[in-house]
Chains A and B, each alone.
Chain A
Amino acid sequence: MKPMRHRAFLLLPLWLLAATCVAVGQEPILIVSLDSSSVTIPQGGEAIAVLRIENRSVHTADDLEASLVSDGVALRVEPDGIAAIGPFDQATMALRMSADEGLASGSQDGLLEILYTYCIGDLCFQVFEDIPIRLDVVPPSEGPIAPPPPPPVGPLPSEQFHWIALGVGLLVFGAVAALRRRSRRTWPIRTATVLLAIGALAYGVIRGQHDQARAIGAVLCTSCVGIEASQHAEPRLSAAGIDAIMRIDRDIELLVFHAAWCHACPYAERMVEEVARLNPRITYRLADVEEEPDLARESGVVRSGRTVVPAVLRIDTGEVLFGAERLETRLIELLKEGT
């Protein structure tokens, strides 16, 4: 039998690997959820709810704060503040709620307000999210006076732990590779490679990094691959541009398509925001292409299966602008069409 008898199987492991990487859905930036939509609080007592936070984006969420909009119920968050939730990290917060002694018993609807920021380059965005919560206030004898112990809090495991684990793994691999140089036997280094590959792939999938990779590949960020220049500066409209925008005398609605990691998107978003601020007849809405892929497809911002961001759609005409280069000029042309 010839030595090349196995070469037909060269691609087989590749296809097996491909088959294991099955596509699943995509998620927004931070997913926040309560362990229960209703909380029972005794008058003058305390109750604890658990807030679970999952970062499904490639950006770090900073300065996360939670506050409760409710009559007679105060909120204390443990820990006081989570400094940062890294990309694809998870965290939990204990929400310790205490009711006033004089609060009437009965149910009331409260609103848990979540506030956090994330930055792309020098541009930062503040995100609000509201979670409705039902508060059942009961007489002290019916509810737990002593609240249950709080759950483990804070981001776990930390990025530092991951870097250390990765460093140890590569060191072990390096040590085995060094031993390979002294010996003709290849099985130790191949075994180490297999173990490291399987371990890293499995842990990467558990952490959702396969989704992260797919999300990066699925959306064409025009500045990222050099189709246009990156725009990191704050957009500034020219005097002539401001004048042209203010002269538009018909209602126009714009839809700005963006993605969380797109470098040029914040520039386009800020530009359209400024245009809408100057002329109240121009309104706009932001659409995250990951959250609204069907809308992106229907709006024509998908070209050959790839969603292109940033993209600005004028809804009444269906015209789309791609990218952020010379955006002021192109945006004014788009707005003036048909006027």
Chain B
Amino acid sequence: MKLRSQRRVAQMAGILLGLFGVTGIGMTHIIFPGLHCYACPWAVTICPIGLLQNLVVFGTVPFFWIGAIFAYGLIAGRGFCGWFCPFGTLNDLLSFRKVRVRASFSYSKYAVLIGTLIAAWAFTDTMFCKLCPAASIEASIPYLFLGVAKVNAPFLLHMGTLAGTLLGMVLIARFWCRYLCPMGAILSLFNRVSLLRVRLEANRCTGCGICSSSCPMGIDPHVEHDNHNCIKCGECVEACKLGALSLTYGRPRRGKAGG
């Protein structure tokens, strides 16, 4: 099976886990390794960002949250963005323009993360959730049809942020993942630690740049294959006909590690 096909299967698994509540099993103790609203009527997992905000509001030392995030960071880092996150999958589906934008802009997601935490502390409320486009799709719209939500100011605010994000996704591939996702910001800290890695065999690389043009995150895999923004989607691996790039899990084979 081709790498992209395998990724689609994993992304389907992510969506299935996100909507597993249709089976009626209810909420579990699992923190979702991506951005998926726990208010979704069919969610069985807990949104890490929603939970983190609540923990900030309550002043709880978040041991369980940290344990789960470190585990996810080690398992795949931002690989979850590329392979599992349902909102990342939506970004993928709208990735028409794999444009390159100034790399420093991607640090804005850390500002979103810090702003989310400060807002939760300052307002003792989950302020990010009120703007989150994932919550717009997964909570506001379903609950409108379930008769719980109304078309009111908070609903329209949700729709506004959703529309803005969708427009951004259409104009810039993986717009949300690149610039705004606080969960992506957290997982990106583990990119150099995670077991899932993109590896470069420098002796095979001619520097043609085809990997850069294929990258939805707008990075240069042949220069920075372990960039904090890399979602390990493997698009560059498939694009490189010389086999200079590979996606590995765990320890690299002897003599194959490069970069």
Contacts and interface: CB of A to CB of B under 8 A. Distances in A.
B186 interface: no
A162 B63 contact: yes
Nearest to B42: A304
A308 B148 contact: yes
A199 interface: yes
Contacts of B146: 303-304
Contact of B125 (A220, A230, A308): A230
B140 interface: yes
A198 B253 CA distance: 27
Given A201-B71, A308-B148, A7 B6 contact: yes
A29 to B, nearest CB: 13
Interface in A175-223: 177, 180, 186, 189-190, 193-194, 196-205, 207, 209-214, 216-218, 220, 222
B112 interface: no
B64 interface: yes
Contacts of A197: 66-68, 70-71, 74
A205 B71 CA distance: 15
B125 A224 contact: yes
B39 A200 contact: no
Contact of A121 (B124, B246, B253): B124
A200 B63 contact: yes
A201 B193 contact: no
Contacts of A228: 149-150, 152, 154
B100 interface: no
B51 interface: yes
Interface stretch (A12-20, A143-151, A238-246): A12-20
Contacts of A14: 33, 72, 75, 84
A8 B249 CA distance: 9
Contacts, number: 233
A10 interface: yes
A204 B64 contact: yes
A266 interface: no
B39 A306 contact: yes
Interface in A1-44: 1-4, 6-11, 13-14, 17-18, 21-23
A180 B237 CA distance: 26
B29 A23 contact: yes
Contacts of B67: 196-204
Contact of B140 (A13, A203, A226): A226
Nearest to A59: B58
A209 B135 contact: no
Interface in B1-38: 3, 6, 10, 13, 21, 24, 26-31, 33, 37-38
Contacts of A87: 58-60
Interface centre among A9, A213, A304 (most CB of B within 10 A): A213
A210 B68 CA distance: 10
B61 A159 contact: yes
B143 A227 contact: yes
Contacts of A217: 27, 38, 43, 45-47, 50-51
Chain A interface extent, by class: 35 or more
A45 interface: no
Contacts of B110: none
A263 B58 contact: no
Nearest to B7: A7
Contacts of A308: 148
Interface string B141-184: 01100111110111101100000000000000000000000000
A261 interface: yes
B61 A162 contact: yes
Q: In this complex, which of B61, B72, B129 has the most chain A Cβ atoms within 10 angstroms of its Cβ?
A: B61
Nearest to A197: B70
B31 A213 contact: yes
A218 B157 contact: no
B64 A205 contact: yes
Given A10-B79, A18-B30, A59-B58, 17 more contacts: A2-B246, A3-B253, A14-B84, A22-B29, A86-B59, A180-B192, A190-B74, A200-B64, A204-B64, A209-B65, A212-B64, A217-B51, A218-B27, A225-B37, A225-B50, A226-B129, A226-B154
Interface of A: 1-4, 6-11, 13-14, 17-18, 21-23, 58-60, 86-88, 121, 159, 162-163, 166, 177, 180, 186, 189-190, 193-194, 196-205, 207, 209-214, 216-218, 220, 222, 224-230, 261, 263, 303-306, 308, 322-323, 325
29 contacts: A3-B199, A6-B250, A7-B196, A7-B249, A14-B33, A14-B72, A58-B54, A88-B60, A121-B124, A166-B61, A166-B63, A186-B193, A190-B74, A190-B193, A199-B67, A200-B66, A209-B60, A213-B46, A213-B51, A217-B51, A220-B139, A220-B148, A224-B39, A227-B140, A227-B155, A228-B149, A228-B154, A230-B125, A261-B58
